[in-house]
């Protein structure tokens, strides 16, 4: 048992009386009394959760994972969890997420990822471009419009590909029919 416990728990175990260490029920009770999630700890975690904001260089994925860990530790879920995640997002990501009006944490994450990707693209294009355009000059509406245009282009290409596959299937079936007639 001592090998499994580290830091504070390991020190606590080392200081226990041997009578407690040898009786599982007594050891379990002592452990729970010492390390049980008290209401004070729970309130501290809730305060930390309410104050948690995304760092300037912290990814949306890392931020949301950290907040979800805190929400689970204090028993927050559903709409309250979504609100707490959204309120701590960086302002430039929050604008995009609020426009989407997500109904799940997954939608928040997807939208925040897209906004981050767009932010990186505009940051890269403005640092490599010699024009005077800055990332702030490019509105999120323009970025979303560009992403939608790209999505539409991909959909059109996908439709053309599906048509070609259908033609190929038809030609293959006709070829198989011709082959079956000549084999008889």
CB atoms within 10 A of CB 54: 21
Q: Does a structural domain hold residue 68?
A: yes
For residue 63, pLDDT over 90 is answered with: yes
Number of domains observed in the structure of the chain: 2
For residue 131, pLDDT over 60 is answered with: no
Clarify whether residues 128 and 44 are in a common domain: yes
Model confidence pTM above 0.95: no
Region 65-94: mean pLDDT is: 94
For residue 40, pLDDT over 70 is answered with: yes
Q: Could you give the percent of the chain with pLDDT greater than 90?
A: 36
- Nearest 5°: the CA angle 2, 8, 13 is 35
What pLDDT is attached to residue 53? Answer: 96
Contact 95, 116 (CB under 8 A): no
The length of the chain in residues reads 184
Clarify whether residues 156 and 126 are in a common domain: no
Q: Which two tokens stand for residue 120?
A: 């990186």
Q: Which two tokens stand for residue 110?
A: 């997807």
Clarify whether residues 66 and 124 are in a common domain: yes
Q: 20: which residues sit within 8 A by CB, 6+ positions away?
A: 26, 27, 30
Picking from 99-103, 125-129, 142-146, 167-171, which range would have the lowest pLDDT averaged per residue?
125-129
Per the structure, the complete domain to which residue 48 belongs is given by 39-136
What pLDDT is attached to residue 66? Answer: 96
Residue 51 burial (C-beta neighbours within 10 Å; 0-12, 13-18, 19+): exposed
Q: Which two tokens stand for residue 16?
A: 């226990």
């Amino acid at each position: 048992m001592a090998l499994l416990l580290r830091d504070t728990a390991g020190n606590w175990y080392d200081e226990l009386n041997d009578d407690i260490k040898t009786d599982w029920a007594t050891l379990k009770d002592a452990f729970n009394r010492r390390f049980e999630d008290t209401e004070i700890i729970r309130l501290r975690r809730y305060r930390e959760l309410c104050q948690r904001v995304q760092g300037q260089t912290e990814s949306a994925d890392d931020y949301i994972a950290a907040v979800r860990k805190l929400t689970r530790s204090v028993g927050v879920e559903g709409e309250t969890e979504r609100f707490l995640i959204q309120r701590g997002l960086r302002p430039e990501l929050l604008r995009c997420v609020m426009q989407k009006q997500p109904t799940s944490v997954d939608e928040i994450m997807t939208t925040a990822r897209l906004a981050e990707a767009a932010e990186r693209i505009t940051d890269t294009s403005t640092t490599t471009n010699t024009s005077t355009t800055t990332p702030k000059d490019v509105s999120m509406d323009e970025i979303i419009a560009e992403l939608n245009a790209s999505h539409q282009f991909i959909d059109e290409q996908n439709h053309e590909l599906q048509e070609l596959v259908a033609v190929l299937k038809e030609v293959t079936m006709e070829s198989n029919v011709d082959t079956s007639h000549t084999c008889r």
